[in-house]
Structure 1
Amino acid sequence: MEERRKYKRLPIKLELEINSLFKQNNDIIKLDNKTIEVIDISKNGIGILCRDELPLNYYFNAKIEFDEKRYFYCVLKIIRSNKSGDKYCLGCEFVGLAEFLADKVDEYEKILNKK
């Protein structure tokens, strides 16, 4: 099967807490600090695992932290959801991420390649 992704996915172990989802029309869904597991990252977005189904086309704020010195804040949009066992595998894309922040993913890839 031909790879159609624009950017390479990189494995990452990271947990995020989401306290709300929102849409541009001010539709807000409050969550009780839902913990999600980030399983991969690319310059375009992240893949996450979550116990509960989250609605498509909603946004959330996140802090992507590679280590204490390399991190950035971003907005992510949920664009894909598939049930896998007792969890949901979601695809999220970065929204309006500045190029210098996206370059932090390239820096992370270089660190992975050195290991």
Structure 2
Amino acid sequence: MRERRRAHRIPYQAILTIDEVYNQQDVIKESRKISIEVVDISKGGIGFIAKEELPLNYYFNAKIDLGNGREFYSVLRIMRKELLSKGYNYGCEFTGLADILSLYIDEFEEEVLSEG
């Protein structure tokens, strides 16, 4: 099988909270917060695990902190969902990631590779 990814996945451990999940017409899950466990990040997006089921092609806002003053806010779109024994594994893509933020991820990848 040919690899279709445009960017390398980098291990990234973080706990984020989603306040709302939305698309162009609807907002769902707005009454409570959803904790997610981020497992990797790339210039394309993030992978995370959550106990709750979230709909595909919906969006959420996230604050990403890569350390050393590299933190940014982004909108992510839920692209992939896989059922696990303890919840769901999701793949999300960044929407409209600015070039400077992409550089933050490049720097983070270099740090992770030099440590490993």
- How high is the TM-score relative to the length of structure 2? 0.93
Corresponding residue number in structure 2 for 1:35: 35
Alignment coverage as a number of residue pairs? 114
Contact 1:63 1:71 (C-alpha < 8 Å) held by counterparts: yes
- How high is the TM-score relative to the length of structure 1? 0.94
Segment of structure 1 superposing worse, 70-79 or 1-10: 1-10
Deviation at 1:70, TM superposition (A): 1.2
Q: Distance in 2 between matches of 1:5 and 1:33?
A: 30
Letter of the structure 2 residue corresponding to residue 28 of structure 1: V
Contact 1:48 1:89 (C-alpha < 8 Å) held by counterparts: yes
1:31–1:58 distance in 2 versus 1, CA, 3 Å: farther
Corresponding residue number in structure 1 for 2:92: 92
Corresponding residue number in structure 2 for 1:77: 77
Aligned identity (percent) is: 46
Q: Distance in 1 between matches of 2:114 and 2:3?
A: 25
* Deviation readout 1:47-82 (Å, 9 max, x if unpaired): 010001101111000001112511111000001100
Provide the aligned C-alpha RMSD in A. 1.1
Structure 1 gaps of 5+ residues are none
1:56–1:31 distance in 2 versus 1, CA, 3 Å: farther
Structure in which a larger fraction of residues adopt strand: 1
Runs (4+) of structure 1 exceeding 3 A deviation are none
